[in-house]
Amino acid sequence: MSNKKLLILFFHPRFEDSRVNAKLIEGVQQLNGVTFRDMYELYPDFNINIKAEQALLLEHDMIIWHHPFYWYNCPPLMKQWLDLVLEYGWAYGSNGKMLAGKWVMNVITSGGNFNVYQPEGKNKFTHRQFLNSFEQTANLCQMVYLPPFIVPGANRLLDKDIEEYMIQYAQIVHFLMNESIDVEKLSTVEHFNQINAAQWEHQFYKTP
Ligand SMILES: Cc1cc2nc3c(=O)[nH]c(=O)nc-3n(C[C@H](O)[C@H](O)[C@H](O)COP(=O)(O)O)c2cc1C
């Protein structure tokens, strides 16, 4: 049994119109060890309770920033959360070490497919490159940035594809709960989509 605790911070500005994320979250909301927070539901006025958010971060070992990819970035409430919650002297700065050692990752749904997120593609840069600011935010806070999980081509997915991504997302959460992950090795992967779930144990679990 794992005692790890995962905090999923979910940011979707138009959840009432969501097709993909609405399904994805069904697979992870109720899992053991997971605290799921629908942030636009909690903070429709953007008035984030900084102390409550910081307390939640301290109670968890891992954080997922889950959001649709909007203008190559996160939705505005997530930016507000970053700006307000990751305070100087708390999250970063010479005395700000409260998040040190915690794991964090992005889970994103993206209208564009992987082929347009390439140097030769329409968007010129990879998803991972666009996510650089989140990775460096994690680094500055001495957190461990895990490979993102990306749902590409989101607007053209069939229901059965979305169902498959929902299952994959739940598998990733389940995998992250394992106590013996070699996180240094895992961090070298570009994104979770590249990992074959059948090889997790073989590739990323430390041998006892
Ligand atoms: C305002 C806005 C900006 C968007 N920007 C991007 C973008 O930069 N890159 C991309 O791949 N998709 C972009 N999209 C597409 C969304 O990522 C996609 O519609 C969403 O992930 C689908 O998930 P949902 O069904 O849960 O809303 C954008 C969509 C909107 C509404």
Locate the domains of the chain by residue range.
6-204
Q: Assign domain 6-204 to a CATH class.
A: alpha beta
Which residue's CA lies nearest to atom 2 of ligand 1? 70
The pLDDT of residue 87: 98
Q: Give the distance (Å) from ligand 1 centre to CA of residue 113.
A: 11
pLDDT (tens, 9 = 90+) of the chain, 208 residues, equals 689 999 999 999 999 999 999 999 999 999 999 999 999 999 999 999 999 999 999 999 999 999 999 999 999 999 999 999 999 999 999 999 999 999 999 999 999 999 999 999 999 999 999 999 999 999 999 999 999 999 999 999 999 999 999 999 999 999 999 999 999 999 999 999 999 998 898 899 998 7
CA 181 – ligand 1 centroid, Å: 32
Confidence at residue 1, expressed as pLDDT on a 0 to 100 scale: 62
Q: Which atom of ligand 1 is nearest to the CA of 151?
A: 21
Measured from CB, residues less than 6 Å from any atom of ligand 1 are 18-21, 68-72, 109-112, 154-155
Residue 41 and residue 35 in contact, taking contact as beta carbons nearer than 8 Å? no
Atom of ligand 1 nearest to the CA of 117: 11
For ligand 1, the distance from its centroid to the CA atom of residue 110, given in whole angstroms, is 6
Report how far ligand 1's centroid is from the alpha carbon of 8 (Å): 19
